[in-house]
Structure 1
């Protein structure tokens, strides 16, 4: 008799709109699931969109009033509305600007994969309510990110690989 598989903690919808090649959906999903270990064990869903500079700049301008392409944007959905039974609750959207992530990886001496994993985890933690506006919040968020990255076999994202 085989065991019933356990569904992932988070249902992940990945939308690729970038010319930069990124890891497979299964890899991105693994990173989101690892970040989900920091969240309550309830059915959730997250949308991940991989974009180029023009779209990231447009979103940043429209939603944050800043005219540049950021590495990651998080759009939490703070809605408490009824859902059908067993329907995952939408947590929000994470938008990653792959050309910026690629450039930052080179600047920081990280691999593209390592930098992308870190920023996707960072974005999911923002959806879950983490912040880095205050020093104590920043320390807690960085500790959570570092712990998730370690579970995935990556080094501390806040230290140099040199």
Structure 2
């Protein structure tokens, strides 16, 4: 399965993961069986994250990752799964607070967002457990430890 990724860097944060890293993480999280897929990953700062989180989720604060699945009308062929908006300062701050490497948290947020684009959610306990199991398996296959452990360094 081929995955095409567009990275949009709208963040002032330096030392971001490479396009190759994002591609590897997103590809690993691609569960849907399709010939080709496209995703846009937009790296933002807190102002844009907060605006989008407020406008689309009713939560007036920045957040780590937002997923915007794309559904083309039936008559329009498209390989676009959707957009991920990842807030660089929040990801870095959360990694530090959770005693994780920044790289492992970037990978987790990418995998988490990709699963959302494919219909996974965590609104109830059963859904959350299924999604977390997928995340653990994918991240383990990429060489990262369990993102839900107290410390993943």
TM-score under structure 1 length normalisation: 0.88
Residue of structure 1 in register with 2:104 after alignment: 114
* Secondary structure in structure 1 of the residue aligned to 2:6: strand
Deviation at 1:66, TM superposition (A): 1.3
| Contact 1:10 1:44 (8 Å CA) reproduced | yes
Q: How many residues are matched? A: 151
Residue of structure 2 in register with 1:30 after alignment: 24
Residue of structure 1 in register with 2:140 after alignment: 150
| Contact 1:132 1:141 (8 Å CA) reproduced | yes
Residue of structure 1 in register with 2:7 after alignment: 14
Distance, in Å, in 1 between the alignment partners of 2:149 and 2:34 is 30
Distance, in Å, in 1 between the alignment partners of 2:134 and 2:6 is 23
Structure 1 residue ranges, 4+ long, deviating more than 6 angstroms after superposition: none
Distance, in Å, in 1 between the alignment partners of 2:47 and 2:109 is 19
Distance, in Å, in 2 between the alignment partners of 1:138 and 1:126 is 11
User: What 5-or-longer segments of structure 1 have no aligned partner?
Assistant: 1-7
* Secondary structure in structure 1 of the residue aligned to 2:62: coil
Q: 15, 24, 44: which one pairs with 2:37? A: 44
Matches within 5 A, 1:95-134: 95-134=85-124
User: What 5-or-longer segments of structure 2 have no aligned partner?
Assistant: none
The alignment status of 1:137 with 2:127, answered yes or no, reads yes
Distance, in Å, in 2 between the alignment partners of 1:140 and 1:9 is 25
From the CA coordinates, give the structure whose radius of gyration is larger: 1
Q: Over aligned residue pairs, what C-alpha RMSD do you find?
A: 1.4
Deviation at 1:161, TM superposition (A): 2.6
TM-score under structure 2 length normalisation: 0.93
